[in-house]
Amino acid sequence: MPPLPSFAPIPATTRRDRVAAALRRSILSGQITPGTQLVESGLARQFGVSRGLLREAVRELIETGLVVNRPYAGAFVTEINERVLRDVYEVRRVLERQAYISVWPRRNAGFRAELQTRFDQMIAAVSTGELADEIRAEAHFHGLVYESCGNHLMPAMWQQMTQKIQLGFAICQIAYAPKMDFQANHGQFLTVALGDDLPAMLVELDKHLSRGLATIDFMSQPSKRDGETSVSKIDEAID
């Protein structure tokens, strides 16, 4: 049998992956706003790639729900509004609750160490002041339970939900929201998630999700973006 030919190492990412990643970053940072049409010819020219490759990159975003394809019209960035975000949070409330119930007896040393590591990474991202990095790190922290709960559908569901949540924060210009003590808020979540009281974990999860949705509710109302919205008012909204 003749020997196999020599192959050159394959790059970890392809040009399509890099184009998709660049578009994803621009959408989630708010640089490309919801409802914007992704014009194939113009984007292919800017990236210096073929229209076929650009189409493949956009298809990847469509599969994750960040972009929608409208027949006879083209590809558009997904529209996100308060109603959509509320629906996402209510679905997340159900799924994440079930994920913690399922993972609770499986929380071995590896899970605990990884959750702590992701928490530390999240706090480090917050210190940079970069909103996009902060939101991605928070999604990475909360995503561990979906990855570890034993249901193979959960990670994909989390990916679709978190992209909508990230886009919602960008739209609402959350950088102008009242700043909570991020470390204390998530630190309490971490403490309970690593503890032994499942009912307490479910209560903390519910409060955590309600606080996030209340923030978006406040920021979706122009009258609230006057610099006078306080953390206490957001806390009142979840009581």
Cα–Cα distances (Å) from 73 to 35, 40, 133, 158, in that order, read 12, 12, 33, 29
CA 93 to CA 147: how far, in whole Å?
16
Tens of pLDDT, residue by residue over 145-194, are: 999 999 999 999 998 888 787 777 666 554 445 556 678 889 999 999 99
Confirm whether pTM is higher than 0.85: no
Place of tokens 């002041």: 129
pLDDT of residue 166: 77
Helix, coil or strand: residue 89:
helix
Please give the structure tokens belonging to residue 123.
Answer: 């706090």
The conformation of residue 13, written as its DSSP 8-state character, comes to S
Number of Cβ within 10 Å of residue 13's Cβ equals: 10
pLDDT of residue 169: 67
pLDDT of residue 5: 54
pLDDT of residue 24: 85
Number of Cβ within 10 Å of residue 37's Cβ equals: 13
Q: What DSSP letter does each residue of 174-195 carry, written as one string?
A: GGGSPPP-HHHHHHHHHHHHTS
pLDDT of residue 237: 41
pLDDT of residue 134: 81
Positions of the chain with pLDDT under 50 = 7, 10, 174-176, 225-239
pLDDT of residue 165: 79
pLDDT of residue 234: 38
CA atoms within 13 A on the CB side of 161: 23
Identify residue 41 by its one-letter amino acid code: S
Nearest of 82, 88, 79 to residue 33 by alpha carbon: 79
Nearest of 189, 210, 215, 214 to residue 200 by alpha carbon: 189
pLDDT of residue 3: 57
| CA geometry: angle 54, 57, 58, nearest 5 deg | 90
Nearest of 186, 187, 176, 238 to residue 213 by alpha carbon: 238
Place of tokens 């605990």: 112
pLDDT of residue 228: 45
- Entry field: residues in the chain: 239
Q: Is residue 148 within 8 Å of 103, Cβ to Cβ? A: yes
